[in-house]
Structure 1
């Protein structure tokens, strides 16, 4: 399900282009060009592609302008992170071997995922 459609909020330009918020302008331009080549109307023609291309164009317009990008970054820092409050910054208090000082540890530790095929 498309989150920005359900909430009525505009999509995050960094997510649309698939780049990190700390990405360089060259990396943003590279991601934009890659997506435009893939979504260009000369190679594809359907409504979903047109909507995706429109989102890419708006995202790039925002991120290529240093002032607009700085304003976006300020808004992103001012708004809380997505997700339930109990998940954001979740930690558990774990006592040390002596039991005197609590240590903070993540609630969940996940290792690499292994896929095994059976015939």
Structure 2
């Protein structure tokens, strides 16, 4: 099971929500846990835990989907990057940073 697609390991679709992913993870952990009488090899449980570790974290999941070439809608393909420019007139000054004040301390006379 090592090196497989985390979606395939957990048995969920790429557009599955976190609730569905968590439910599949819990069911597989109950199935492959070493304390159960029908426990499988420890590699199976390790693969399930590794797959859930990727898919439960939105940042890791987005990075995995980006490397895999899948968008959230389940369409395979590479995205098109579009450069973004912010138009600012030349005579318009840059905005000043916001003023920050520290904690107020009272001085005794």
TM bucket, shorter chain: 0.5 to 0.7
Aligned residue-pair number: 71
Give the helix-richer structure, 1 or 2.
1
Q: Distance in 1 between matches of 2:12 and 2:6?
A: 9
Following the alignment from structure 1 to structure 2, what is the Cα–Cα distance between the partners of residues 35 and 49?
A: 13
Deviates more, 1:15-24 or 1:48-57: 48-57
2:10 is aligned to 17
Alpha-carbon distance in structure 2 between the residues aligned to 1:36 and 1:71: 25
Pair member with larger Rg:
2
Runs of 4+ with deviation above 3 angstroms: none
CA contact (8 A) 2:32 2:45 kept: yes
> What runs of 5+ residues in structure 2 fail to find an aligned partner?
71-75, 77-109
Of residues 27, 30, 39, the one that matches 1:34 is 27
> Which has a greater percent of strand?
1
Distance 2:38 2:28 in 1: 15
Paired with 1:75 and 1:49, the residues of 2 have a C-alpha distance of: 29
Q: Displacement of 1:25 after TM fit?
A: 0.3
TM-score (norm 2): 0.59
Structure with more contact order per residue of length (Cα contacts < 8 Å, sep ≥ 6): 2
Structure 1 stretches lacking a partner, 5+ long: 5-9, 82-119
TM-score, normalised to structure 1, is: 0.54
